Amino acid sequence: MFEPSEHRPTEAIVDLNAIQHNVRVMLEQMDDEQKLYAVIKADGYGHGAVQVAEAALAAGAKGLAVSTVDEAIELRQSGHRFVPILVLGLTDPRGIAEIIYYNLTITVSGLDFFAKAYQQLEDTHHLAILEDAKLRFHLKLDTGMGRIGLTSAAEVAEFAKAVEDFNWVDWEGVFTHFSTAGGGPESYIDYQWNNWLELTTAVPESVRLRHYANSAMGLWYPREPKSDIVRYGIALYGVDPKDQLPSATKSPLKPAMSIVSEIVHVKHVPAGTHISYGATYEAADDQWIATVPIGYADGWLRRFNGIPVLVDGNACPIVGTINMDQLMIQLPQEYPVGTTVTLLGQDGQLENHVSMIAASTDTIGYEILCGIGKRVPRIYLTDDI
């Protein structure tokens, strides 16, 4: 298990003020009746789930969303005892006792879960837990994502009738996910919307929450009836869902994470010197070469070798192959050991924006942020919490 490295200068700086700002950007577009749930799965997209949750709730979020029961339990144990936590992924019914004990809201996509969960409580002599609490759940509808959920109004109607036999459950919500709101054909949004309207006709009026808005749907494609919950994910961290650069969209979102390190070694090499594994780089002339302690084990992947890093306002190319723990860069002049190196973020007039890096490496900003390794310490900046 990786632990943060306290004895090297590589750090991920997380600005919690930016998290709060991004929450307020979305809240300004929402009605008072709507609720914002901060999506902090995958350790808050690599930013730190507990810290991001605290910032988002302080800024006005009314709930949290995660992917797994374990992620939800971490939040409960960190002190978030009463805020609603929705587990977006499907869960193992053998964990039913903990789900109810920690007051979690789970996602289901069929009836099998309930029978298996009840049997688990019976087999483990935990049925008494149902005397004080019910299992709260949201039903997932597959309107075109093709991942999980019921796909027809007939299936929903059958589910609604059969679930009445389980008097120990609370059917609180129903939801879906739009697969192209953050990129892809916009016409598919209309296709999914029509499916959503059709499927929800079979949902009983007693189901209190009906939600479909992720970041992209919430920011750009509001519909009527409105989504009772906006599941605010990538935009919470200041990244455009389509990885559009702020300069192109005048986006009000503020990126929350920057990654910085320092020069730990510098040398002057003559023309013809080879650098890094495979000797794939050969200096064309005399050059200043510096070593920076970050590599693919930290999430700065080998395919990022075409992305320059920033030193003293200069874009400095990575030379040779990125190593597991280190990489080498070409400097425009000699800089001393200890000079700051910015891999993600702003330095002077230059910025390495996560969406720019994503476009240059044929991926998405989500993957880059989630891939920053655990041994990179997260340093938190905040004024308001």
**Which pair of structure tokens corresponds to residue 107?**
């996602």
Say if 377 falls within a structural domain: no
Q: How many separate domains does the chain show? A: 2
Position 250 scores a pLDDT of 83
Say if 379 falls within a structural domain: no
Sign of the C-alpha dihedral, residues 78, 81, 87, 90?
positive
> How far apart (Å, rounded) are the C-alpha atoms in residues 258 and 354?
9
CATH of the domain at 267: 2.40.37.10
Same domain as 268, residue 230:
no
Per-run averaged pLDDT (10 residues), the chain, 385 residues: 71 97 97 97 97 97 98 96 96 96 97 96 94 96 96 97 96 97 94 97 97 96 95 97 86 96 98 96 97 98 96 97 98 97 96 96 96 96 77
CATH of the domain at 134: 3.20.20.10
Backbone angles phi, psi at 113, to 5 degrees: -55, -45
Same domain as 261, residue 233:
no
Position 2 scores a pLDDT of 47
Residue 256: which of 140, 115, 353 has the closest Cα? 353
* Residue 264 neighbours by CB under 8 Å, 6+ apart: 8, 9, 291, 292, 293, 337
**Which pair of structure tokens corresponds to residue 17?**
């003020």
Same domain as 264, residue 206:
no
Say if 212 falls within a structural domain: yes
Same domain as 90, residue 203:
yes
Note the pTM of the prediction, 2 decimals: 0.94
Alpha-helical runs (H) found in the chain: 16-27, 41-45, 49-59, 69-77, 96-101, 112-123, 153-162, 187-200, 215-220, 246-249, 354-360, 365-370
Same domain as 221, residue 149:
yes
> How far apart (Å, rounded) are the C-alpha atoms in residues 175 and 212?
5
Same domain as 273, residue 231:
no
Same domain as 45, residue 99:
yes
> How far apart (Å, rounded) are the C-alpha atoms in residues 135 and 102?
11
Compute how many other C-beta atoms are within 10 angstroms of the C-beta atom of residue 170.
15
Catalytic, out of 35, 37, 41, 296:
41
Residue 215: which of 15, 45, 337, 16 has the closest Cα? 45
| SS3 category, 114 | helix
225 prior amide bond cis, ω within 30: yes
Compute how many other C-beta atoms are within 10 angstroms of the C-beta atom of residue 254.
17
Answer yes or no: is 375 a known binding residue.
Answer: no
CA angle 118, 122, 125 (to 5 degrees): 135
Say if 376 falls within a structural domain: no
Same domain as 115, residue 52:
yes
| SS3 category, 148 | coil
Position 239 scores a pLDDT of 96
Position 384 scores a pLDDT of 61
Same domain as 121, residue 232:
yes
Position 3 scores a pLDDT of 55
277 catalytically annotated: yes
Same domain as 76, residue 222:
yes
Look at the block and give the residue holding tokens 């809240």. 27
Answer yes or no: is 324 a known binding residue.
Answer: yes
Catalytic, out of 116, 161, 267, 277:
277
Say if 202 falls within a structural domain: yes
CA 149 to chain centroid, in Å, comes to: 21
Same domain as 151, residue 59:
yes
The burial class, CB within 10 Å (0-12 / 13-18 / 19+), for 101 is middle
Position 90 scores a pLDDT of 97
Say if 270 falls within a structural domain: yes
Domain end (from 203, 237, 271) = 237
Q: Say what angle helices 49-59 and 69-77 make with each other, to 10 degrees.
A: 70
Domain end (from 190, 209, 237) = 237
Compute how many other C-beta atoms are within 10 angstroms of the C-beta atom of residue 154.
11
Same domain as 186, residue 52:
yes
Say if 2 falls within a structural domain: no
Position 248 scores a pLDDT of 74
> How far apart (Å, rounded) are the C-alpha atoms in residues 379 and 48?
10
Q: Which domain holds residue 48?
A: 16-237
Say if 363 falls within a structural domain: no
Backbone angles phi, psi at 71, to 5 degrees: -65, -40
